[in-house]
Structure 1
Amino acid sequence: MSGQAKYDEHTELVEKMAETLGLDLTEEMMAGNWTPEDMRATVSRCLGCTDPAHCKGWLDDHEVGAEETPGYCRNKDLLEAMRARLVTA
């Protein structure tokens, strides 16, 4: 898999994980709470995941949503903090 294809795969995983938590990253960008730099940093952490196939399976199993990310997610703290901020807002 090329470097760009791998980056694109992990970008999609980040976006799907956010959606699964009820987050809209585009909306967060428009509100000024999320930047392209934030996205790159988040995807970079995701790229360090040793088992993206497992993540894809988890996402498939949680198509209706979830309140938290799986424990192994490298972006768990970030995404859950964003979700908590939005839920309490």
Structure 2
Amino acid sequence: MNLPVITRADVERLLASPGEDPVLYLNDEGGVAKVDVWVSAYVHHAKVLAHRYEVVDAIGDAPDAADVEHYLRLLQQAVEEAADRLE
């Protein structure tokens, strides 16, 4: 599986999501993996990369670029771990 690279835009979409308990997750439908945002109740737990509350706890709800860049490395590791669980 080709792994997607998580970006600042992915984090911004999660922070802006109006859903209740949104998550970043590894969407592997259609054979191409990508990072997506959806409500946690509809996402299999093995695909979840981070809940919004976890991201806000780590970097705040209005993070600066340096905070996001540091956190992206941690999230990329979560992408790799989720991909391993799905194989």
Q: TM-score range by the shorter chain?
A: 0.3 to 0.5
Normalised to the residue count of structure 1, the TM-score between the two structures is 0.33
Whichever structure has more helix as a proportion of its residues is 1
Greater RCO, 1 or 2 (C-alpha within 8 Å, sep 6+) = 1
Question: Which structure is higher in strand share?
Answer: 2
TM-score normalised over the length of structure 2: 0.34
